[in-house]
Structure 1
Amino acid sequence: MENTNEINGTSVESVTNNVANVKINDSTTTDSSSTPGSPATGASTVSSFAAAFKSFSKFGDIKSDGKHITLSQSDKWMKQAKVIDGKKITTTDTGIYFKKQKSMKLSMEQYKLYLDELAKAKKVEIGDIKNKLANCGAPGLTHGPGGPSKSASAVERLTDVSKYTGSHKQRFDETGKGKGISGRKDLPDASGYVQGYQNKDTYKAH
Protein backbone atom coordinates (compact mmCIF):
# COMPACT_ATOMS: atom_id res chain seq x y z
CA MET A 1 0.00 0.00 0.00
CA GLU A 2 1.31 3.45 -0.94
CA ASN A 3 2.51 5.54 1.98
CA THR A 4 0.00 8.37 2.65
CA ASN A 5 2.73 10.51 4.22
CA GLU A 6 4.37 10.88 0.80
CA ILE A 7 2.86 12.82 -2.08
CA ASN A 8 4.63 12.47 -5.43
CA GLY A 9 7.79 11.49 -3.65
CA THR A 10 7.77 14.46 -1.28
CA SER A 11 7.31 13.82 2.41
CA VAL A 12 4.88 15.84 4.53
CA GLU A 13 7.71 16.60 6.95
CA SER A 14 9.83 18.08 4.17
CA VAL A 15 6.99 20.36 3.03
CA THR A 16 6.39 21.53 6.60
CA ASN A 17 10.06 22.40 7.08
CA ASN A 18 10.13 24.39 3.84
CA VAL A 19 7.08 26.44 4.87
CA ALA A 20 8.65 27.19 8.26
CA ASN A 21 11.86 28.38 6.60
CA VAL A 22 9.93 30.69 4.28
CA LYS A 23 8.13 32.29 7.26
CA ILE A 24 11.42 32.84 9.09
CA ASN A 25 12.99 34.47 6.03
CA ASP A 26 9.97 36.74 5.53
CA SER A 27 10.07 37.80 9.18
CA THR A 28 13.78 38.60 8.99
CA THR A 29 13.32 40.65 5.83
CA THR A 30 10.45 42.62 7.35
CA ASP A 31 12.37 43.39 10.55
CA SER A 32 15.45 44.59 8.70
CA SER A 33 13.45 46.79 6.33
CA SER A 34 11.27 48.32 9.07
CA THR A 35 14.18 49.31 11.29
CA PRO A 36 15.33 52.83 10.40
CA GLY A 37 19.02 52.97 9.63
CA SER A 38 21.33 55.57 11.07
CA PRO A 39 22.69 56.61 7.64
CA ALA A 40 19.23 57.94 6.66
CA THR A 41 19.03 60.01 9.82
CA GLY A 42 22.54 61.31 9.26
CA ALA A 43 21.71 62.25 5.69
CA SER A 44 18.68 64.20 6.90
CA THR A 45 20.82 66.14 9.38
CA VAL A 46 23.39 66.94 6.69
CA SER A 47 20.64 68.18 4.37
CA SER A 48 19.11 70.38 7.10
CA PHE A 49 22.53 71.76 8.02
CA ALA A 50 23.24 72.67 4.40
CA ALA A 51 19.87 74.39 4.04
CA ALA A 52 20.38 76.34 7.29
CA PHE A 53 23.89 77.35 6.19
CA LYS A 54 22.47 78.76 2.96
CA SER A 55 19.69 80.65 4.77
CA PHE A 56 21.94 82.26 7.37
CA SER A 57 24.66 83.09 4.84
CA LYS A 58 22.04 85.21 3.03
CA PHE A 59 20.72 86.85 6.19
CA GLY A 60 21.21 90.61 6.05
CA ASP A 61 22.97 90.42 2.67
CA ILE A 62 20.69 90.48 -0.37
CA LYS A 63 23.69 90.04 -2.69
CA SER A 64 24.87 86.81 -1.05
CA ASP A 65 24.76 83.64 -3.13
CA GLY A 66 24.36 81.48 -0.02
CA LYS A 67 27.73 79.79 -0.45
CA HIS A 68 29.80 81.78 2.05
CA ILE A 69 29.07 82.92 5.59
CA THR A 70 30.50 85.79 7.66
CA LEU A 71 31.32 85.85 11.37
CA SER A 72 28.30 88.02 12.21
CA GLN A 73 25.98 85.71 10.27
CA SER A 74 27.54 82.70 11.97
CA ASP A 75 27.13 84.25 15.42
CA LYS A 76 23.49 85.04 14.62
CA TRP A 77 23.00 81.38 13.64
CA MET A 78 24.76 80.06 16.74
CA LYS A 79 22.83 82.34 19.09
CA GLN A 80 19.52 81.26 17.58
CA ALA A 81 20.57 77.61 17.86
CA LYS A 82 21.78 78.23 21.45
CA VAL A 83 25.27 77.03 20.61
CA ILE A 84 26.53 80.37 21.92
CA ASP A 85 25.28 80.39 25.51
CA GLY A 86 27.61 82.99 27.01
CA LYS A 87 29.20 80.36 29.26
CA LYS A 88 30.63 77.33 27.47
CA ILE A 89 30.91 79.11 24.12
CA THR A 90 30.98 82.90 23.76
CA THR A 91 31.26 85.33 20.85
CA THR A 92 34.88 85.86 21.88
CA ASP A 93 35.53 82.16 21.26
CA THR A 94 33.79 82.18 17.90
CA GLY A 95 35.70 85.29 16.83
CA ILE A 96 39.06 83.72 17.67
CA TYR A 97 38.50 80.44 15.83
CA PHE A 98 36.69 82.02 12.89
CA LYS A 99 39.66 84.32 12.23
CA LYS A 100 41.99 81.32 12.29
CA GLN A 101 40.49 80.33 8.95
CA LYS A 102 42.14 83.50 7.55
CA SER A 103 39.10 84.58 5.56
CA MET A 104 36.28 87.06 6.13
CA LYS A 105 33.80 84.64 4.57
CA LEU A 106 33.88 80.86 4.87
CA SER A 107 32.59 78.25 2.45
CA MET A 108 30.67 75.30 3.87
CA GLU A 109 33.79 73.11 3.95
CA GLN A 110 35.80 75.84 5.67
CA TYR A 111 32.94 76.38 8.09
CA LYS A 112 32.94 72.69 9.03
CA LEU A 113 36.66 72.91 9.80
CA TYR A 114 35.96 75.98 11.92
CA LEU A 115 33.26 74.11 13.86
CA ASP A 116 35.60 71.14 14.39
CA GLU A 117 38.32 73.37 15.85
CA LEU A 118 35.83 75.23 18.03
CA ALA A 119 34.30 71.99 19.33
CA LYS A 120 37.69 70.49 20.17
CA ALA A 121 38.90 73.63 21.92
CA LYS A 122 35.74 74.00 24.00
CA LYS A 123 35.35 70.23 24.55
CA VAL A 124 31.89 70.06 23.02
CA GLU A 125 30.56 67.26 20.82
CA ILE A 126 30.66 68.40 17.19
CA GLY A 127 27.55 66.30 16.51
CA ASP A 128 25.58 68.26 19.12
CA ILE A 129 26.63 71.57 17.59
CA LYS A 130 25.65 70.51 14.07
CA ASN A 131 22.30 69.11 15.23
CA LYS A 132 21.44 72.37 16.99
CA LEU A 133 22.45 74.40 13.95
CA ALA A 134 20.45 72.15 11.63
CA ASN A 135 17.26 72.36 13.67
CA CYS A 136 17.09 75.96 14.89
CA GLY A 137 14.67 77.14 12.20
CA ALA A 138 14.84 80.00 9.72
CA PRO A 139 16.85 83.11 10.65
CA GLY A 140 15.10 85.89 12.51
CA LEU A 141 12.32 83.78 14.03
CA THR A 142 13.32 84.24 17.64
CA HIS A 143 11.88 86.21 20.53
CA GLY A 144 13.47 87.92 23.48
CA PRO A 145 13.44 86.52 27.04
CA GLY A 146 9.91 87.82 27.57
CA GLY A 147 8.59 86.21 24.37
CA PRO A 148 6.07 87.69 21.97
CA SER A 149 3.43 88.24 24.67
CA LYS A 150 5.71 90.60 26.60
CA SER A 151 6.43 92.59 23.44
CA ALA A 152 2.73 92.80 22.63
CA SER A 153 1.86 94.06 26.11
CA ALA A 154 4.59 96.71 25.89
CA VAL A 155 3.23 97.96 22.57
CA GLU A 156 -0.30 97.99 23.93
CA ARG A 157 0.80 100.00 26.97
CA LEU A 158 2.60 102.56 24.82
CA THR A 159 -0.36 103.02 22.47
CA ASP A 160 -3.05 103.32 25.16
CA VAL A 161 -3.90 107.05 25.00
CA SER A 162 -5.90 106.87 28.24
CA LYS A 163 -2.59 106.53 30.09
CA TYR A 164 -0.95 109.55 28.47
CA THR A 165 -0.25 112.62 30.62
CA GLY A 166 0.73 116.24 30.09
CA SER A 167 0.85 117.68 26.59
CA HIS A 168 0.68 114.20 25.04
CA LYS A 169 -2.77 113.69 26.51
CA GLN A 170 -4.04 116.79 24.66
CA ARG A 171 -3.13 115.33 21.27
CA PHE A 172 -5.85 112.66 21.26
CA ASP A 173 -9.59 112.61 21.88
CA GLU A 174 -11.33 110.07 24.12
CA THR A 175 -11.51 107.52 21.27
CA GLY A 176 -7.77 107.64 20.69
CA LYS A 177 -7.98 109.59 17.45
CA GLY A 178 -5.36 112.29 16.97
CA LYS A 179 -6.57 115.89 17.05
CA GLY A 180 -4.11 117.06 14.44
CA ILE A 181 -2.61 120.53 14.74
CA SER A 182 -5.10 121.55 17.42
CA GLY A 183 -3.60 118.93 19.70
CA ARG A 184 -0.06 120.15 19.10
CA LYS A 185 -0.44 123.92 19.03
CA ASP A 186 -2.45 126.50 20.98
CA LEU A 187 -4.57 128.35 18.44
CA PRO A 188 -5.79 131.92 19.21
CA ASP A 189 -9.42 132.24 20.31
CA ALA A 190 -11.13 135.03 18.32
CA SER A 191 -14.56 134.55 19.88
CA GLY A 192 -14.26 137.65 22.07
CA TYR A 193 -14.27 135.74 25.34
CA VAL A 194 -11.36 135.65 27.73
CA GLN A 195 -9.34 132.45 27.80
CA GLY A 196 -10.87 129.82 30.05
CA TYR A 197 -14.37 131.32 30.13
CA GLN A 198 -16.78 128.44 30.86
CA ASN A 199 -20.18 130.02 30.06
CA LYS A 200 -19.67 130.72 26.38
CA ASP A 201 -22.93 130.86 24.35
CA THR A 202 -25.13 130.67 27.47
CA TYR A 203 -26.07 134.36 27.60
CA LYS A 204 -29.21 135.36 25.72
CA ALA A 205 -29.03 138.91 24.37
CA HIS A 206 -32.78 139.09 23.53
Structure 2
Amino acid sequence: MSMLLNPYAFASGGGGSLPPGATGQLDFVNGFYWAGGAEVAVGDILGGGFDSGAISASGMYINFDNSNRPTPIGDLLSDLLAGLAAGMTILFDVTTPSSLGGFLIYMGVAPAYDDAFSWNYATIDAFVSDEGTLGLSGSISGAGDHKIAITFNRSVGGSTHEYAWCNDGNTAVTQTTAYAAWTMTDAQLGWDGGLSSGRQLFETYIKSMTIYPAMDPTDLPALTA
Protein backbone atom coordinates (compact mmCIF):
# COMPACT_ATOMS: atom_id res chain seq x y z
CA MET A 1 0.00 0.00 0.00
CA SER A 2 1.13 3.56 -0.65
CA MET A 3 0.71 5.06 2.82
CA LEU A 4 3.67 5.39 5.17
CA LEU A 5 3.71 4.15 8.73
CA ASN A 6 3.05 6.83 11.31
CA PRO A 7 5.49 7.03 14.25
CA TYR A 8 2.52 7.52 16.59
CA ALA A 9 0.64 4.51 15.25
CA PHE A 10 0.75 2.57 18.48
CA ALA A 11 -0.14 5.36 20.89
CA SER A 12 -3.28 4.38 22.74
CA GLY A 13 -5.71 5.47 25.39
CA GLY A 14 -9.38 5.07 26.21
CA GLY A 15 -9.36 1.62 24.64
CA GLY A 16 -8.32 2.69 21.14
CA SER A 17 -5.21 3.30 19.08
CA LEU A 18 -4.18 5.27 16.02
CA PRO A 19 -4.13 3.00 12.93
CA PRO A 20 -0.89 2.72 10.95
CA GLY A 21 -0.54 5.59 8.49
CA ALA A 22 -3.23 7.73 10.09
CA THR A 23 -2.63 11.29 11.22
CA GLY A 24 -5.82 11.75 13.22
CA GLN A 25 -8.82 9.84 14.55
CA LEU A 26 -12.10 10.23 16.38
CA ASP A 27 -13.03 6.77 17.68
CA PHE A 28 -16.34 7.33 19.42
CA VAL A 29 -16.89 3.66 20.26
CA ASN A 30 -13.62 3.27 22.15
CA GLY A 31 -13.29 6.84 23.42
CA PHE A 32 -9.99 7.50 21.65
CA TYR A 33 -9.27 10.87 20.03
CA TRP A 34 -6.06 11.94 18.29
CA ALA A 35 -5.39 15.32 16.67
CA GLY A 36 -2.43 17.64 16.29
CA GLY A 37 0.00 14.76 16.83
CA ALA A 38 -1.26 13.84 20.30
CA GLU A 39 -4.11 12.19 22.16
CA VAL A 40 -6.75 14.74 23.13
CA ALA A 41 -10.08 15.03 24.92
CA VAL A 42 -13.10 15.06 22.62
CA GLY A 43 -14.27 18.36 24.10
CA ASP A 44 -11.03 19.98 22.94
CA ILE A 45 -11.64 19.13 19.27
CA LEU A 46 -15.43 19.27 18.89
CA GLY A 47 -17.39 22.38 19.79
CA GLY A 48 -20.23 24.48 18.47
CA GLY A 49 -23.42 22.51 19.01
CA PHE A 50 -21.55 19.35 20.03
CA ASP A 51 -23.48 17.23 22.53
CA SER A 52 -21.23 14.72 24.28
CA GLY A 53 -24.37 12.91 25.45
CA ALA A 54 -24.85 11.73 21.87
CA ILE A 55 -21.84 9.40 22.25
CA SER A 56 -22.54 5.81 23.28
CA ALA A 57 -21.18 2.33 22.68
CA SER A 58 -22.79 2.54 19.23
CA GLY A 59 -20.86 5.68 18.25
CA MET A 60 -21.84 9.34 17.97
CA TYR A 61 -25.49 9.78 16.96
CA ILE A 62 -26.59 12.54 14.59
CA ASN A 63 -30.15 13.05 13.36
CA PHE A 64 -32.36 15.89 12.18
CA ASP A 65 -34.07 16.17 15.56
CA ASN A 66 -31.29 15.63 18.07
CA SER A 67 -29.17 18.38 19.56
CA ASN A 68 -25.80 17.12 18.35
CA ARG A 69 -24.16 19.48 15.85
CA PRO A 70 -20.42 18.71 16.22
CA THR A 71 -18.10 21.42 14.90
CA PRO A 72 -14.38 20.63 14.54
CA ILE A 73 -12.28 23.07 16.57
CA GLY A 74 -8.69 23.35 17.74
CA ASP A 75 -6.24 20.75 16.50
CA LEU A 76 -8.91 18.77 14.63
CA LEU A 77 -9.94 21.80 12.58
CA SER A 78 -6.28 22.56 11.88
CA ASP A 79 -5.66 18.95 10.80
CA LEU A 80 -8.67 18.99 8.47
CA LEU A 81 -7.83 22.31 6.83
CA ALA A 82 -4.15 21.40 6.43
CA GLY A 83 -5.16 17.97 5.14
CA LEU A 84 -7.46 19.47 2.53
CA ALA A 85 -4.72 21.80 1.32
CA ALA A 86 -2.13 19.00 1.12
CA GLY A 87 -4.56 16.25 0.05
CA MET A 88 -6.12 13.79 2.48
CA THR A 89 -8.26 10.68 2.77
CA ILE A 90 -10.93 10.40 5.47
CA LEU A 91 -12.31 7.01 6.47
CA PHE A 92 -15.76 6.99 8.09
CA ASP A 93 -17.13 3.93 9.86
CA VAL A 94 -20.87 4.46 10.22
CA THR A 95 -24.17 2.75 10.94
CA THR A 96 -27.14 4.05 8.97
CA PRO A 97 -30.85 3.29 8.48
CA SER A 98 -32.26 2.24 5.11
CA SER A 99 -32.77 5.88 4.11
CA LEU A 100 -29.36 7.47 3.67
CA GLY A 101 -29.00 11.23 3.61
CA GLY A 102 -27.10 14.26 4.79
CA PHE A 103 -23.55 15.51 5.00
CA LEU A 104 -20.67 13.49 6.41
CA ILE A 105 -18.31 16.46 6.34
CA TYR A 106 -18.35 20.02 5.08
CA MET A 107 -15.34 22.33 4.77
CA GLY A 108 -15.80 25.92 3.69
CA VAL A 109 -15.07 29.57 4.13
CA ALA A 110 -18.00 29.85 6.53
CA PRO A 111 -19.81 27.13 8.50
CA ALA A 112 -23.11 27.86 6.75
CA TYR A 113 -23.70 26.25 3.37
CA ASP A 114 -24.03 29.18 0.98
CA ASP A 115 -23.38 29.64 -2.73
CA ALA A 116 -21.49 32.83 -1.91
CA PHE A 117 -18.65 30.82 -0.37
CA SER A 118 -16.20 28.15 -1.44
CA TRP A 119 -16.58 24.64 -0.11
CA ASN A 120 -15.62 20.97 -0.31
CA TYR A 121 -18.02 18.38 1.07
CA ALA A 122 -19.10 14.75 1.03
CA THR A 123 -22.57 13.36 1.69
CA ILE A 124 -23.38 9.95 3.06
CA ASP A 125 -25.29 9.04 -0.11
CA ALA A 126 -22.08 9.05 -2.14
CA PHE A 127 -21.69 12.57 -3.47
CA VAL A 128 -18.52 14.71 -3.27
CA SER A 129 -18.57 18.29 -4.53
CA ASP A 130 -17.07 21.76 -4.48
CA GLU A 131 -17.98 25.19 -5.81
CA GLY A 132 -16.27 24.46 -9.12
CA THR A 133 -16.49 21.53 -11.51
CA LEU A 134 -16.29 18.71 -8.98
CA GLY A 135 -19.43 16.58 -8.79
CA LEU A 136 -18.31 13.04 -8.01
CA SER A 137 -21.11 10.49 -7.61
CA GLY A 138 -20.67 7.03 -6.16
CA SER A 139 -23.17 4.40 -5.08
CA ILE A 140 -24.12 3.19 -1.62
CA SER A 141 -27.32 1.63 -0.33
CA GLY A 142 -28.77 -0.44 2.46
CA ALA A 143 -29.16 -0.19 6.19
CA GLY A 144 -26.43 -1.19 8.60
CA ASP A 145 -22.68 -0.73 8.81
CA HIS A 146 -20.68 1.00 6.08
CA LYS A 147 -17.05 1.98 5.73
CA ILE A 148 -16.62 5.00 3.50
CA ALA A 149 -13.35 6.55 2.31
CA ILE A 150 -13.23 9.94 0.63
CA THR A 151 -10.06 11.43 -0.84
CA PHE A 152 -9.89 15.20 -1.18
CA ASN A 153 -7.51 17.20 -3.38
CA ARG A 154 -4.83 14.57 -4.08
CA SER A 155 -2.18 16.08 -6.37
CA VAL A 156 -1.59 13.92 -9.44
CA GLY A 157 0.77 16.27 -11.25
CA GLY A 158 0.76 19.87 -12.39
CA SER A 159 -2.46 21.64 -11.45
CA THR A 160 -4.52 18.43 -11.61
CA HIS A 161 -6.05 17.09 -8.39
CA GLU A 162 -7.98 13.89 -7.77
CA TYR A 163 -10.99 13.16 -5.58
CA ALA A 164 -12.25 9.67 -4.81
CA TRP A 165 -15.16 7.83 -3.18
CA CYS A 166 -15.00 4.22 -2.01
CA ASN A 167 -17.24 2.18 0.26
CA ASP A 168 -17.35 -1.35 1.62
CA GLY A 169 -14.45 -2.75 -0.39
CA ASN A 170 -15.77 -1.69 -3.78
CA THR A 171 -13.65 -0.15 -6.53
CA ALA A 172 -13.11 3.56 -5.95
CA VAL A 173 -14.84 6.12 -8.15
CA THR A 174 -12.63 9.09 -9.02
CA GLN A 175 -12.76 12.52 -10.61
CA THR A 176 -10.04 15.07 -11.30
CA THR A 177 -10.14 18.84 -11.28
CA ALA A 178 -7.82 21.21 -13.13
CA TYR A 179 -7.25 23.20 -9.95
CA ALA A 180 -6.43 22.72 -6.29
CA ALA A 181 -8.98 23.06 -3.52
CA TRP A 182 -9.64 26.56 -2.29
CA THR A 183 -8.29 27.62 1.10
CA MET A 184 -10.96 26.92 3.72
CA THR A 185 -11.44 28.30 7.22
CA ASP A 186 -14.22 26.22 8.80
CA ALA A 187 -15.54 22.68 8.95
CA GLN A 188 -18.64 20.87 10.11
CA LEU A 189 -18.94 17.18 10.92
CA GLY A 190 -22.21 15.52 10.00
CA TRP A 191 -23.97 18.82 9.38
CA ASP A 192 -23.26 21.84 7.23
CA GLY A 193 -24.44 24.65 9.49
CA GLY A 194 -27.78 25.42 7.84
CA LEU A 195 -30.52 24.58 10.33
CA SER A 196 -33.24 24.75 7.69
CA SER A 197 -31.23 23.23 4.87
CA GLY A 198 -32.27 19.61 5.36
CA ARG A 199 -28.66 18.46 5.04
CA GLN A 200 -28.20 17.00 8.51
CA LEU A 201 -27.43 13.30 8.76
CA PHE A 202 -30.43 11.01 9.14
CA GLU A 203 -30.38 8.59 12.10
CA THR A 204 -26.67 7.92 11.68
CA TYR A 205 -24.08 6.68 14.15
CA ILE A 206 -20.53 7.72 13.32
CA LYS A 207 -18.44 5.02 14.95
CA SER A 208 -15.13 6.51 13.90
CA MET A 209 -13.51 9.02 11.58
CA THR A 210 -9.86 8.52 10.64
CA ILE A 211 -7.68 10.97 8.72
CA TYR A 212 -4.84 9.86 6.42
CA PRO A 213 -2.57 11.58 3.93
CA ALA A 214 -4.14 11.36 0.47
CA MET A 215 -4.14 7.73 -0.64
CA ASP A 216 -4.03 6.18 -4.09
CA PRO A 217 -7.54 5.08 -5.11
CA THR A 218 -6.31 1.50 -5.54
CA ASP A 219 -5.64 1.41 -1.78
CA LEU A 220 -9.18 2.42 -0.80
CA PRO A 221 -11.00 -0.92 -1.32
CA ALA A 222 -8.75 -2.59 1.26
CA LEU A 223 -9.18 0.36 3.61
CA THR A 224 -12.99 0.09 3.48
CA ALA A 225 -13.33 -3.69 3.36
- Which interval holds the TM-score relative to the shorter structure? under 0.3
Structure possessing the higher radius of gyration over alpha carbons: 1
* Higher-strand-fraction structure: 2
TM-score, length-scaled by structure 1: 0.24
TM-score, length-scaled by structure 2: 0.22
* Higher-helix-fraction structure: 1
